[in-house]
Every structure is written in C-alpha cells, then in structure tokens.
Structure 1
Amino acid sequence: MTTLLIDLGNTALKWCTLDDPQPRTVVHRDRTDFKEALYAEWLALRPERVVGSAVAAPNLAFSMTKFFNDHGWVWEWLRPQAVFRNETLTLVNCYDNPMRLGADRWNAAIGAVSASPGRTLLVVHMGTATTVDTIVRESEGSYRFEGGRIAPGPTLMLKGLTDGIPTLSNEMGVWQPFPTATRDAIATGIIDAQVGLVLRALDEAARKDPNPLLLLAGGAAGFVAPHLKGAIPELRVHHNLVLQGLAARAVASGTETAT
C-alpha cells in the first residue's frame, strides 16, 4: 500500500512516500500553475492513503482534500497531540494547550527524536518564521516537548524593515563584524538576531541537559548556519523533519495514542 506524505508549509510543499522518503519540493507561494503537474504525479503513484501536515495555504489544503476525495483516497491532516507513542519512544507535549501547537512543530519534533534518539534536542527551523523548540530526554525512550520560540525568519525580517522604512533597499548584503554599507548592516543585524535567538534558547536547554544537540533545518538554514557553527558544540543540518515525523506517525497509526 502506497502512503503519500505531505508537508504543506507557508512557502513550499514537500512530499514523499513512506517507501521512498526522498522529498520533492514545490514552491507554492504566489503560484497557481503547479497543481496540474503535481496531481498528475500523485495519480501515477495511486496512493491508498494520504497523511499530511498543513499549517498554511488553507485554500490549497482545501483543494487537495477535494482532490483526495474525488479519487477515493483515505486522507488525514495530522494535528498535534498531548502524547505520541510508538515502539521506541514516548514524546509528551508540554504546551499549555497541546492542540494549539503548530502541527509542523509537533511533527518535526517527532521526526527529530526519531532521527536523533537518546539526546536532548534543540530543533531550529528557519523559513518564513524561525522556530526554536526544545525537546528534553528524560530517560531511555522518554522525551518532553518543553516549548519553544517563534520569530520572523530572515526574509520576513528584511521585509519588515523595508516595509516600515521605504527608503531602505531590500537588497541583502553580507555579514561583517563592522558593516560600512547599509545592505551589510541589515544582513549583519538579521543574522545576529537569528543567532542570538538560537544561543539564548540553547542556554536555556542546557539548564535541562548540559549537552543538547542542535538540529537546523529550513530554507534559510544555509544563510545562518556558518555563523552558528563556531558558537555551538554540536550542530547538524537536518532537513525534512516534518516528513520524518509524519512517517513515524503513519507507521504507528495502528497503536499511537493521542490523549
């Protein structure tokens, strides 16, 4: 049975199948010309089941749901849970209201623990928004999603500046220790803000566990990663955590517990 996994984010849609985890990516923001080709690819797969995470583009999610229904595919947009369990791990959601946590963050947390078991993790995703989430290992196979931080991503920071100050150019420069051009001053400020956000969260995570591992993902990860690597003992660039989390939930769907 073919299971289609879909991560529908603010800017891009990523998908793969349970049997072939190599992701395909479609940038959907401000575009409507991609659905015909995408749906043709999915039809060729003939999936019996669709498991997805949708945090944006409600019209696109609705269109996809209609497409699934038209072809008789069983589908589910997976929401966050209070607890996820499978044969190897238990992850507790410590959000005040677990159902208010973004589905992408929860599914990425499951993917992160599945990909890097046995560690306290700082999961950083830099896209339209930057999210920094802490997952604490309590004991063998037992983890807690402690919560996290959300800030504008680098592109959104730049847009906020140029929208608020029209005289500024929207050209992004490069990081400099002492910027002497406005475009470099903007780039340096944005990078330093992203790095500072991560380092502050890392300090807090280290109060729970002195040796956290940082997993970095997202379209803007490459822009900031070089400035983090020298400051953080353990950093791995690890993309597609949401899809990995969806895969774990799809496999565990017969036994997973949502309470």
Structure 2
Amino acid sequence: MKANRHPAALTADLGNSALKLAAWRPLERGAIGAAHPAARATLEHGKGDDPGRLVEGLAAFLDQAAASGAAVQVAALSSVAGPERTAPLVETLSAVLKTRGVELYCGPDHGLANLCDEPHTVGADRLFAARGALELLGRGCVVIDVGSAMTVDAVVAGDPDATEPRGRFLGGAIAPGPWLLAQALATGGAQLKLIEPRAGVPALGQVTGAALESGVVHGLRGAAFELARRVGAEAGLADSVRVVTGGARGLLLDPEPFWTGDLREDPDLVLRGVLAALLERVGA
C-alpha cells in the first residue's frame, strides 16, 4: 500500500549554461500541482567548470533544503545538454546524494504520449514543462517557455478513467529567445551593438540602442502572442489557458501581460513535471 504522503524530493534541470534545482517538502497525494518548492537555486554549470565548486553548491543547497523542511529522500535530473556535460554532472550529483543515502534517477519517464512525427528529437524540457502544466491545471493548455529559446507547445490531458498516459504532447514551435535575438542583431549588423533585453522598453526607440531593445522585446512579445494563438487554434485549444514559464518570462509579463486571455505563470513548471515523473517512478 502506498503512503499517504510523497517523500521529500530534489528535482534538477540542466540547461544550456546552468543547473536549476528545486527541493520539495513531503506532499499529500494529488498535491503536486499546488505545491511550491521549499528551496530553489540556479548554479552556473558550463563545460570546464570547476567540479569542486559544484559539489560545494549542491551540498549547501541540500543543507538549505533540509533546514526548510525538505530533507531530500529521492532525486531526479532532466537534461537538454549533450553527454559531454550531462555525464560528469550525473557522476558529481550522484556522489553528493549518495553520501546522504539518496538515489538519483536520470530522465524519468515524463508520462506523456509524444505525438510528434520524430518524438526522439523533442527536448526533455518541453515534455516536462507540458507534464508540469497538466499537474498545475489538470487540463489541456498551451505552454510558453522563454529561455535561450522560446518554445510554444500544446498538451492535452489523458482520460483519468483509462489506462493511458497522463496526457498527449501535440508539438508546437521553437523560436529564438531574447538573448539569441540580441546576439543575432549584434553579430549580423556591422554597427549594431549588443543590448541587454529588459522589460518595459518603449516601442518608439529614438536612438539605435533603444530601437534594438524595442525590436528584441516587442518582437519577442509579438511572436509569443501569435504563436500562442496559432498553436492553440491548430491544437483545438483556442480558448484554453496559456501557461508561461522560463527565466525570461518577465519580458512577456511586464509591464502588462502579452496575452489578453486566461494566463498563468509558473516559474517551476519544468521542475514540477520532473517531480511528477519522479514520484511515479519510485512508486511513491
């Protein structure tokens, strides 16, 4: 018989340049969608980084989590990085967790039916964000994740009374994120400087730098709106909630939201999806 509460868990997401961590207190069953992490951290982790610093950062985070009521019992990692970065991280993270009697699960099954034509090419972050959105809402939606790239994806819930996956990932769109847009302009234009995208810039730029900021920020917002609209319409989710996540999501939300319909923000969407997959994997 399963326990009435999930164990305290660590979820980790390795992206292009950083490792995002969330520690979760023991949860009542069915409470994943409403849960908030007890602790969060983002550790810089690029190729060639000092593993000693990573060990120190991981240990400090686990201590912080324990002090916040999340003494980790199970852990999972999702990664979109290549094997040259993922493998050393798995070794380091496993070693740190082993000293605390915790096993690391790498890439747990997201629990979704991936309906894309080439499912093996879909990034784990897109799938876990979709799973996290289903946990958050309990119904189909369009997910917008703004980071190095901006992804806009559609997911629908499975039948709770049938023995089928938790939901169906329908696919979506991938566009450049704000920093890629800024870098493309700076490298592609002979006299265009690199700008730092920031929320709330005016559309009417009156010097070149301000015009670049406008093009990147308002261009991103316009692309997000149109992709969220078209992806939703083509997926049969025109009137559904749009869920926004990712480190650059503020550009879509400030000073006013990019979407005029039903909109939710969740900074932990990918890690929420990893948590749901982990707890299913360990049968907790």
TM-score bracket, normalised by the shorter chain, equals 0.7 to 0.9
Identify which of 222, 240, 248 aligns with 2:268: 240
2:253 aligned with 1:225, yes or no?
Answer: yes
Deviates more, 1:154-163 or 1:8-17: 8-17
Q: Are the structure 2 counterparts of residues 140 and 229 from structure 1 closer, same or farther at C-alpha, using a change threshold of 3 Å?
A: farther
Structure 1 residue 249 displacement after superposition? 0.6
CA distance in 2, matches of 1:96, 1:79: 22
Structure 1 residue 147 displacement after superposition? 0.5
Structure 1 residue 230 displacement after superposition? 5.5
2:144 aligned with 1:144, yes or no?
Answer: no
2:23 aligned with 1:17, yes or no?
Answer: yes
8 Å contact kept, 1:7–1:53 = yes
Q: Which residue of the partner structure matches residue 122 of structure 1? A: 142
2:54 aligned with 1:54, yes or no?
Answer: no
2:160 aligned with 1:133, yes or no?
Answer: no
Deviates more, 1:44-53 or 1:151-160: 44-53
8 Å contact kept, 2:41–2:61 = no
Q: Are the structure 2 counterparts of residues 59 and 35 from structure 1 closer, same or farther at C-alpha, using a change threshold of 3 Å?
A: farther
Deviations 1:142-173 (A, max 9, x none): 64211111111101110111112242121347
Q: State the secondary structure of the residue aligned to 2:216.
A: helix
Q: Which residue of the partner structure matches residue 228 of structure 2? A: 202
Letter in 2 for 1:63: P
For normalisation by structure 2, the TM-score amounts to 0.74
Letter in 2 for 1:11: S
Structure 1 residue 58 displacement after superposition? 4.2
Query: Unaligned regions of 5+ residues in structure 2, if any?
Result: 1-6, 27-36
Give the aligned CA root-mean-square deviation in angstroms.
3.0
For normalisation by structure 1, the TM-score amounts to 0.81
Q: Are the structure 2 counterparts of residues 199 and 50 from structure 1 closer, same or farther at C-alpha, using a change threshold of 3 Å?
A: same
CA distance in 1, matches of 2:72, 2:157: 35
Q: Which residue of the partner structure matches residue 38 of structure 1? A: 57
Structure 1 residue 189 displacement after superposition? 1.4
Letter in 1 for 2:20: K
Structure 1 residue 213 displacement after superposition? 0.9
2:93 aligned with 1:64, yes or no?
Answer: no
CA distance in 2, matches of 1:117, 1:160: 38
8 Å contact kept, 1:80–1:106 = no
Q: Which residue of the partner structure matches residue 106 of structure 2? A: 77
Query: Unaligned regions of 5+ residues in structure 1, if any?
Result: 85-90
Structure 1 residue 135 displacement after superposition? 1.5
CA distance in 2, matches of 1:228, 1:185: 20
Letter in 2 for 1:109: A
Q: Which residue of the partner structure matches residue 99 of structure 1? A: 120
Deviates more, 1:20-29 or 1:188-197: 20-29
Q: State the secondary structure of the residue aligned to 2:254.
A: helix
Q: Which residue of the partner structure matches residue 8 of structure 1? A: 14
Q: State the secondary structure of the residue aligned to 2:49.
A: coil
Letter in 1 for 2:208: T
The percent of aligned pairs where both chains have the same amino acid is 27
Deviations 1:77-108 (A, max 9, x none): 21666xx2xxxxxx422111322210111111
Deviates more, 1:43-52 or 1:206-215: 43-52
Q: Which residue of the partner structure matches residue 88 of structure 1? A: none
Letter in 2 for 1:206: A
Q: Which residue of the partner structure matches residue 185 of structure 1? A: 211
CA distance in 1, matches of 2:259, 2:147: 21
Structure 1 residue 219 displacement after superposition? 1.6
Q: Are the structure 2 counterparts of residues 254 and 231 from structure 1 closer, same or farther at C-alpha, using a change threshold of 3 Å?
A: closer
